[in-house]
């Protein structure tokens, strides 16, 4: 693993019984890059993300994140994760949620308070900070999810379907937030079905099909001469099962 | 170590917030007040010894409600996390599964104790309202009751990781209530029946959660005095050993749980 590599997955496979959810996957994400992780439902995206977070161990191969094993809590201290389904403790307010996760990250109370104020403002939840999460809309929960992922100022952000449930305005806001995070040197890995957003945000993409990466490369290369959009190319790649 | 304590503090706080924002604890408290206040104001048949029956009823209520809260809290520690998938962002943070288990257990016990102490405050109020006095061994009874609550939470927590929520509540509830009422009779019953049933009864006595060890109601009601210190500490040691065994089992179950 080179110094600039944030994620290095080599020949990783993960089976559940007879089903091979991920099959010999290899990919790398470098510092400051934004990588889109595409694929149909059941292609192995979520299993890959779980291996990156140390929630699952690969059956074969290796997953190295930020130079270490992600099952080690000290490695996870530098990762921010936002799940696809943004369900959090419904009886907590957004402020209490961030305070709770701050404690879990081992942050001191003062830092948690400061980060909480900053993040609630950044994701546009400052006015709703004292409302229980059960009163939040799906988009608001998604924004609370972004805030909790950023709480520990992670070097790597792993986002599972981050655009789900966001209205157009929130999407623009979120896209700008992602760009500013990338500009501040953070690496971002996100899975998505939103090809338009992926095209706008990513430096490179990986396309998964049946547990294998059937394409990996820069978005610009995938888009070629600019006459084809990502959607067309995504379909081509999936149909051919190989490079576009 | 500092990381562990900060994590434990966050999990304990979460348990408190969850318990006290849930309506069922308040419902139990209102029910306890509704039952204890008339009990404390009544003087059935004008009999002098009737207050013992009132104390017994109030203590039985306290035991019953504390068991409901302990089982409910312990059983709810992990299944909703898996069901609503909040376990993923939680375990993606720098916390080990062992720390999560211990922190959640500590939180559930502390929250259940807070409710228990409130029930005892109600009981004390009910005794004082009737013009009675609080015996010195009440403190010993409360400590043993707290140890029982810690054990009940551990039983429900361990069960919640290996079975469905409803089956867990039924099995844990039946095991604890059966031992509470019939535990002391099991050796006699084992002698009275033939093998292999006697072996099963012996096994239940050996491994079952001896809720009856913690029950000082009769001593409190009849003024029989405190239990011997050696017995008191032996019971606390039993609770600690039983809880440690259950948490060890729960840690293995959580480690093997597929995410």
CB contact under 8 A, B89 and A101: yes
Where residue B113 falls among pLDDT bands split at 50, 70, 90?
A: very high
What is the distance in angstroms between the Cα of A90 and the nearest Cα belonging to chain B?
9
* Domain total in chain A: 1
pLDDT tens digit at each of 244 positions of chain A: 666 889 999 999 999 888 889 999 999 999 999 999 998 888 899 999 999 999 999 999 999 999 999 999 999 999 999 988 767 888 999 999 999 999 999 999 999 999 999 999 988 899 999 999 999 988 888 889 989 999 999 999 999 888 877 788 888 888 888 888 888 889 999 998 888 888 888 888 999 988 888 888 887 665 555 555 677 677 777 776 654 4
Note the pLDDT of residue B140: 93
B173: distance to nearest CA of chain A, Å?
26
Secondary structure class of A45 (helix, strand, coil): helix
The chain A residue lying nearest B87, using CA atoms, is A88
Between CA A40 and CA A22 the distance in angstroms is 13
- B11 to chain A: nearest residue by CA? A100
| Burial class of residue A90 in the structure, from the number of CB atoms within 10 Å of its CB (0-12 exposed, 13-18 middle, 19+ buried) | middle
8 Å CB contact between A181 and A103: no
Q: Decide: residue B99, CB within 10 A, 0-12 exposed, 13-18 middle, 19+ buried.
A: middle
Helix, strand, or coil here: A130? coil
Q: Order of strands, edge to edge, in the sheet holding A19-30?
A: A19-30, A5-16, A60-65
pTM for the whole thing? 0.88
CA A68, A71, A75, A81 dihedral sign is positive
- A130 lies in which domain range? 85-153
CB A14 within 8 A of CB A49: no
Which residues is B104 bridged to in the sheet? none
The CA-atom distances, in angstroms, between B144 and each of A194, B113, B133, B174 are: 58, 12, 20, 20
Displacement of CA A89 from its chain's centroid (Å): 21
Scan for tokens 């004082």, then name that residue. Answer: B128
Contact A14, A21 (CB under 8 A): yes
The boundaries of the domain holding residue B230 are 2-256
Supply the pLDDT for residue A243. 45
Helices of type H across B161-228:
165-182, 186-192, 197-207, 217-222
User: What is the structure's pLDDT at A66?
Assistant: 94
Residues 104-143 of B with CB under 8 A from A: none
Contact B212, B187 (CB under 8 A): no
Check: CB of residue A206 under 8 Å from CB of residue A215: yes
Residue B115: count other Cβ atoms within 10 Å of its Cβ. 22
**Phi, psi dihedrals of residue A204, rounded to the nearest 5°:** -145, 165
Distance from C-alpha of B47 to C-alpha of B62, rounded to nearest angstrom = 24
Tallying the residues shown for chain B, one arrives at: 259
Is the ipTM value over 0.90, yes or no?
A: no
Residue A131 lies in a domain: yes
A105/B259 Cβ within 8 A: no
What is the band of B246 on the pLDDT scale with cuts at 50, 70, 90?
very high
Which one is predicted more confidently, B222 or A119? Answer: A119
Q: Would A127 be classed as within a structural domain?
A: yes
Strands (E) in chain A, as ranges, are 5-16, 19-30, 34-39, 60-65, 79-82, 156-160, 187-191, 204-209, 212-218
Asked if residue A9 lies in contact with residue A51, where contact means CB atoms within 8 angstroms, the answer is: yes
For residue B92, pLDDT beyond 80: yes
Q: What is the pLDDT of residue A244?
A: 42
Q: Is A108 helix (H, G, I), strand (E, B) or coil?
A: coil
Distance (Å, whole) CA A17 – CA A19: 6
Chain B partners of A54 at a C-beta cutoff of 8 Å? 91-92
Mean pLDDT throughout B87-104? 94
Check: CB of residue B128 under 8 Å from CB of residue B46.
no
Q: Does the beta-carbon distance from A73 to B94 stay under 8 Å?
A: yes
A66 closest CA partner among A144, A148, A152: A152
- Select from B20, B81, B88, B258 the residue whose CB has the most chain A CBs within 10 Å, as the one to mutate to test that interface: B88
Position A113 in a domain = yes
CB atoms within 10 A of CB B55: 21
Question: Residues B230-235: contacts with CB within 8 Å, 24+ apart?
Answer: B232/B140, B232/B143, B232/B144, B235/B144, B235/B147
In angstroms, the CA B64 to CA B36 distance is 13
Give strand ranges (E) for chain B: none
Across the interface, which of A16, A73, A81 has its CB nearest the CB of B95? Answer: A73
- All residues of chain B having their beta carbon less than 8 Å from the beta carbon of residue A107 are 6
* Mean predicted confidence (pLDDT) in B213-222: 88
**Predicted pLDDT of residue A47:** 93
Domain total for chain B?
A: 1
Distance separating alpha carbons of residues A11 and A25, to the nearest angstrom: 5
Average pLDDT score over chain B: 89
Taking only the tens place, the pLDDT of each residue in B127-177 is 787 777 777 789 999 999 999 999 999 999 999 999 999 999 999 999 999
pLDDT at B166 (0 to 100): 92
């Amino acid at each position: 693993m080179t110094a600039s590599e944030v994620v290095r997955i080599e020949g990783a496979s993960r089976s559940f019984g007879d089903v091979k959810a991920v099959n010999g996957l290899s990919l790398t994400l470098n510092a400051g890059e934004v990588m889109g992780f595409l694929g149909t439902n059941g292609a192995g995206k979520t299993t890959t993300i779980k291996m990156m977070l140390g929630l699952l161990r690969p059956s074969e191969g290796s997953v190295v994140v930020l130079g270490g094993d992600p099952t080690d809590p000290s490695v996870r201290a530098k990762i921010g994760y936002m799940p696809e389904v943004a369900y959090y403790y419904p009886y907590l307010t957004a402020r209490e949620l961030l305070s709770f996760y701050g404690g879990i990250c081992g942050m001191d109370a003062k830092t948690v308070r400061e980060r909480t104020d900053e993040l609630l403002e950044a994701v546009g939840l400052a006015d709703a900070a004292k409302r229980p999460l059960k009163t939040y809309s799906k988009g608001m929960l998604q924004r609370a999810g972004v805030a909790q992922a950023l709480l520990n100022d992670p070097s790597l952000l792993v986002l599972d379907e981050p655009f789900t449930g966001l209205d157009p305005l929130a999407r623009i806001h979120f896209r700008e937030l992602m760009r500013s995070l990338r500009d501040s040197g953070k690496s971002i890995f996100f899975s998505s079905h939103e090809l338009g957003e992926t095209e706008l945000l990513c430096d490179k993409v990986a396309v998964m099909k049946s547990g294998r990466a059937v394409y990996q490369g820069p978005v610009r290369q995938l888009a070629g001469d600019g006459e084809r959009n990502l959607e067309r190319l995504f379909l081509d790649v999936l149909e051919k099962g190989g490079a576009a | 170590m500092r990381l562990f304590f900060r994590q434990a503090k966050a999990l304990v706080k979460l348990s408190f917030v969850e318990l006290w924002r849930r309506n069922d604890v308040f419902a139990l408290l209102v029910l306890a007040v509704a039952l204890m206040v008339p009990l404390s104001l009544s003087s059935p048949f004008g009999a002098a010894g009737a207050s013992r029956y009132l104390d017994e009823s109030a203590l039985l209520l306290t035991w019953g409600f504390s068991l409901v809260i302990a089982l409910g809290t312990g059983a709810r520690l992990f299944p909703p996390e898996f069901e609503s998938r909040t376990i993923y962002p939680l375990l993606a943070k720098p916390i080990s599964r062992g720390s999560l288990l211990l922190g959640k257990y500590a939180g559930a016990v502390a929250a259940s104790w807070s409710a228990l102490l409130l029930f005892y405050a109600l009981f004390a109020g009910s005794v004082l309202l009737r013009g009675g006095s609080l015996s010195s061994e009440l403190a010993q009874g409360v400590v043993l009751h707290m140890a029982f609550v810690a054990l009940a939470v551990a039983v429900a927590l361990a069960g919640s990781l290996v079975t469905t929520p409803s089956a867990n509540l039924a099995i844990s509830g039946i095991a604890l209530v059966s031992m509470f009422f019939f535990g002391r009779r099991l050796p006699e019953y084992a002698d009275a029946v033939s093998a292999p049933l006697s072996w099963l009864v012996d096994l239940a006595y050996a491994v079952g959660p001896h809720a009856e060890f913690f029950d000082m109601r009769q001593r409190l009601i009849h003024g029989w005095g405190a239990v011997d210190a050696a017995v008191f500490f032996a019971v606390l040691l039993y609770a600690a050993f039983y809880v440690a065994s259950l948490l060890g089992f729960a840690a293995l179950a959580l480690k093997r749980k597929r995410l």
